[in-house]
A and B are shown apart, each in its own frame.
Chain A
Amino acid sequence: MAMPVTHYLRTSKMPHIWCAGCGHGIVLGAVLRAIDSLGLDKDEVCVVSGIGCASRAPGYLDFNTLHTTHGRAIAFATGIKMAKPELKVIVLTGDGDAAAIGGNHLIHAARRNIGITTVCFNNSIYGMTSGQYSPMTPTGSLASTAPYGNIEEPFDLCDLVYAAGASYVARGTAYHALLLSKLIAKAIATEGFSFVEAITQCPTYYGRRNNMRSAVDMLKWQKEHAVPVAAAAKMSAEELVGKFRIGELGTRTRPEYTRRYAAVIETAQKEEAEQDA
């Protein structure tokens, strides 16, 4: 039931830069199907990215698109959303971009609850620079900068962003592409800050080094390790070791930032008018 979404693509910019077997195309497809399902006008969508493989996505999309500096997409997006709150502002980012260099912007956007949707393409590695470990690389994995195995613990990005104050947090995978699309649609429809972690595969720089030589191996890994939230609720902590939850992980209703600022403008203008009177 995959809807055709080619009308959102700048097909003249194809072929894309992603490697054979990369999951980013599947995740991007899920983003576009989500936008399509919401019936959004191309002119009202603004897609912003940082630096890295995932951040090259906006170049292929027929929206207002902005490819910024490393880690800063959410900060640029904050300026856009403030200047034009009527725009649907979507940030496409990777695990290095969002969780390392851009981690501060991520948690503060969540804290403010500004109406931006962030989709993090998490492939557990820095792909653009050929395979260094990221804050999302599993402990023990090999990477070009972890030749003896990664000794760091990864974030649970969804827990982090929800704890920081986001209105909507969810996780999906490239394997569960239809679920992913539905989660992204709900994220975009959320008024405050929304975050979707999309687990995706990098066979070239992660899989090859970590006993998953093909994209199929990696997609199978996603299938076997993902646990839907409803099933996870019935499992013990021991049973969940090494697994990750997919689905909606947190939703709450809080005032959205640009709406709050609109109230500030109203108050300030009222005071000014009273002083003039």
Chain B
Amino acid sequence: MLSKAGTRLMQGNEACAEGAIAAGLRFFAGYPITPSTEIAEELALLLPKVGGKFIQMEDEIASISAIIGASLAGAKSMTATSGPGFSLKQEGIGFASYTEVPCVIVNVQRVGPSTGVPTAPAQGDVMQARWGTHGDHPIIVLCPSSVAETFTLIIEAFNISERWRIPVIFLMDEVVAHMREKVVVPDVSQIKLVERPRPQVAPDQYLPYAAGEDLVPPMADFGSGYRYHVTGLTHDQTGFPTTKAPEVGALARRLDAKMKRAAPHVTFVDELLVDDAEVAIFAYGVTARAAAKAVRDARAQGLKAGLIKAKTLWPFPSEHVRRVAERARAIVVPEMNMGQLVLEVERASAGRAKVAGLSRVDAEPITPDEILARLREV
């Protein structure tokens, strides 16, 4: 049954699927892979109820290709995958980023590389989410740490992708995906939805890649009377291929500037007790939950700890880290990888605070006690 307003017990993957429909998702293409499969299963059931479409494609690349096609035809679109599938999707992610086609790509992280441990959590895809496809490209990466947050953040993912015409990677982890928690589903009238900018000029005046002040070009739906060309080749404002140096450079620079323009509007961070923190934690995903407990335990023991919980990983929330680094003695960065965002925290801290990583890569989540011990060390 479709989610109605009210309080429900939901699984993370279920919240992802239902939140996406609430956000306006009307086309999903996917391929079965653990631990993301429930998203596809839910959407196969629910999408047709709202007149949306679901298709199980022959592979991961076909799935992302299909959602880009559907988005060009005007449908809010999404695919979902996990580790090995995410590697395969990189081709399409680059195409969507370069052609500025809104879409959401869910990656439920599991232990890698390669097949790894399919049923166990990890946070090893953070750098791949940012740089997995070739070439400079804008991308936005959001990361929920609870089931309720999955529901609200996936709605933001769609809104951001539509508003800025940038693909959004929704980076979950196996724990958040499979745990069940309370979700307060809002009434549909309370959910703010954003649509992509569409052309305001007549078709013969339309320049598909000419952007205005906000650097986001208006996007026409295929079949709406605006006949235009979309290519993964480097293109000029008309959408046609170019190899002229000034035009090649102009596109790269506009896309970069667009990402920077979007950054303050797409950066979501929760701060817990950071104002007087002597030691801070920077955490995301399921690890942020253990970090919050570690902060409370530290405070109970007289250690002034605080937490920067990043819900946006890319663009990296450098400002938040910099502000905390000005006061705190040290920042601990627990991650279920060998140290990925710890390097970004170091960069943003710029020597103001000591930065210490905490890695766990044995297919088990990081515990509050491990983080607390690290807080005491630094």
**Which residues does A use to contact B, with CB under 8 Å?**
10, 13, 42-44, 46, 48, 58-59, 62-69, 72, 75-80, 82-84, 86-87, 104-105, 108, 261, 264-265, 267-269, 271-272, 275
Contact = CB atoms under 8 A, between A and B. Distances in A.
Contact of A64 (B27, B92, B227, B232): B227
A265 B48 contact: yes
A87 B227 contact: no
Contacts of A75: 57, 61-63, 65-66, 69
Interface of B: 1-2, 26-27, 29, 45, 48-49, 51, 53, 55, 57-59, 61-63, 65-75, 77, 91-92, 95, 221-225, 227-233, 240-241
A189 to B, nearest CB: 19
A80 B95 contact: no
A69 B223 contact: no
A65 B71 CA distance: 14
A184 B172 CA distance: 46
16 contacts: A63-B227, A66-B229, A69-B95, A69-B232, A72-B91, A75-B63, A76-B66, A78-B55, A79-B67, A80-B69, A83-B27, A83-B73, A83-B77, A87-B73, A108-B62, A265-B51
- Kindly name the residue among B51, B70, B241 whose own CB sees the greatest number of chain A CB atoms within 10 A: B70
Contacts of A67: 229-233
A42 B29 CA distance: 28
Nearest to B75: A83
Nearest to A76: B69
A272 B229 contact: no
Contacts of A108: 57-58, 62
A44 B2 CA distance: 33
Given A69-B65, A78-B57, A79-B77, A64 B91 contact: no
A270 B69 CA distance: 28
Given A64-B227, A79-B69, 15 more contacts: A43-B223, A44-B223, A66-B72, A66-B229, A66-B230, A67-B231, A68-B68, A72-B62, A76-B68, A76-B69, A78-B57, A78-B62, A82-B66, A261-B53, A264-B48
A62 B74 contact: no
A66 B223 contact: no
User: Ordered nearest first, which 6 A-B pairs have the shortest CB separation?
Assistant: A79-B69, A75-B65, A79-B66, A268-B48, A79-B70, A83-B73
Contacts of B71: 79, 83
A75 to B, nearest CB: 4
Contacts of B230: 65-67
Tell me what chain A mostly uses at the interface: helix, strand, loop, or mixed: helix
- Kindly name the residue among B2, B66, B68 whose own CB sees the greatest number of chain A CB atoms within 10 A: B66
Contacts of B233: 67
Contacts of B232: 67-69
A80 B57 CA distance: 14
B240 A13 contact: yes
A78 B69 contact: yes
Given A75-B69, A265-B51, A87 B223 contact: yes
A87 B223 CA distance: 7
A271 B241 CA distance: 48
Given A75-B57, A75-B62, A78-B62, A64 B48 contact: no
A42 B66 CA distance: 22
Contacts of A79: 27, 29, 65-73, 77
Contact of B222 (A13, A64, A265): A64
Contacts of A275: 1
Contacts of A104: 58-59, 62
B73 A84 contact: yes
Nearest to A79: B69
Nearest to B76: A83
Contacts of B222: 46, 64, 66, 80, 84, 87
A269 B49 contact: yes
Contacts of B231: 59, 66-67
